[in-house]
Amino acid sequence: MRVYTSEEPAMSGGSFTHNNTVAPKETKVFPLLSLKGRTAIVSGAGAGIGLRVAQGFAEAGANVAIWYHSNKEALTRAQEIEDEYGVKCERPTDPLGRAYQVDVTQDLKVKEAIDDIVAEFNGRLDIFVANAGIPWTQGPMLDGDNAHYRKVVATDLDSTYYCAKYAGQHWRRQKKEGTTLDGKPLAGFTYGSFIATASMSGHVVNIPQLQAAYNAAKAGIIHLVKSLAVEWVRFARANTVSPGYMATEISDFVPPETKSIWKDKIPMGREGEPHELKGVYLFLASDASSYTTGTDIICDGGYCLP
Contact indicator for 44, 69 with CB cutoff of 8 Å:
yes
* Residue 5: C-alpha distances to residues 17, 20, 104, 173, 231 (Å): 10, 9, 35, 15, 17
Contact indicator for 291, 233 with CB cutoff of 8 Å:
no
Q: Tell me the C-alpha distance between 65 and 113, whole Å.
A: 10
72 has catalytic annotation: no
Q: Show Cβ contacts of residue 91 under 8 Å, excluding neighbours closer than 6 positions.
A: 97, 98, 99, 100, 120
Exactly one of 149, 161, 214, 245 is catalytic; name it: 214
Q: Nearest to residue 291, comparing CAs of 225, 199, 219, 193?
A: 193
Alpha helices in 34-127 (DSSP H): 48-59, 73-85, 107-120
* Residue 47: C-alpha distances to residues 44, 158, 228, 278 (Å): 7, 21, 27, 13
- Amino acid identity, position 289: S
Exactly one of 218, 278, 289, 303 is catalytic; name it: 218
159 has catalytic annotation: no
The b-or-e profile of 272-288 (16+ CB within 10 A means b, else e) is bebebbbebbbbbbbbb
CB atoms within 10 A of CB 47: 17
Instruction: Report the relative pairing of strands 63-68 and 100-101 from DSSP bridges.
Output: parallel
What are φ and ψ of residue 254, in 5° steps? -80, 130
- Amino acid identity, position 159: S
Exactly one of 34, 159, 193, 199 is catalytic; name it: 199
176 has catalytic annotation: no
Q: Tell me the C-alpha distance between 66 and 55, whole Å.
A: 10
Give catalytic residues, as residue numbers.
199, 214, 218
